[in-house]
């Protein structure tokens, strides 16, 4: 998959459910949520196809994002170790 195809895949299939998870838990306005997520380190790792983070569920990605917001560190799931 080339870089543009992967970016489209993220934007259409991966990111929307993560944004939904964030909003269900934070009640932030949609644009604020989207902006914060796209500027997070979780998203920076997610957009690197080699990390294979796009395999993670929306809930797992949300928990990683939540950890980053609260502690400044990303807690990776055990299977990533």
Instruction: Please determine, for residue 42, whether its predicted confidence score (pLDDT) is greater than 70.
Output: yes
For residue 24, count other CB atoms closer than 10 A to its CB.
Answer: 9
pLDDT, average across residues 20-28 = 94
pLDDT confidence tier of residue 31, bands split at 50, 70 and 90: very high
**Cβ atoms 45, 74 nearer than 8 A:** yes
With the C-alpha atoms ordered 21, 26, 30, 35, is the resulting torsion angle positive or negative? negative
pLDDT, average across residues 44-73 = 96
Distances (CA, A) of 19 to 2, 14, 26, 36, 61: 24, 9, 10, 10, 10
Q: What is the pTM assigned to this prediction?
A: 0.91
**Cβ atoms 60, 77 nearer than 8 A:** yes
Instruction: Please determine, for residue 51, whether its predicted confidence score (pLDDT) is greater than 70.
Output: yes
pLDDT confidence tier of residue 80, bands split at 50, 70 and 90: low
| % residues pLDDT > 70 (the chain) | 96
Instruction: Please determine, for residue 81, whether its predicted confidence score (pLDDT) is greater than 60.
Output: no
């Amino acid at each position: 998959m080339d870089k543009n195809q992967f970016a489209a895949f993220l934007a259409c299939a991966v990111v929307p459910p993560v944004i939904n998870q964030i909003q269900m838990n934070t009640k932030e306005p949609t644009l604020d949520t989207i902006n914060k997520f796209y500027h997070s380190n979780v998203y920076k790792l997610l957009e690197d196809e080699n990390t294979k983070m796009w395999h993670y569920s929306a809930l797992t990605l949300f928990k990683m994002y939540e950890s980053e917001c609260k502690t400044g560190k990303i807690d990776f799931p055990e299977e990533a170790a």
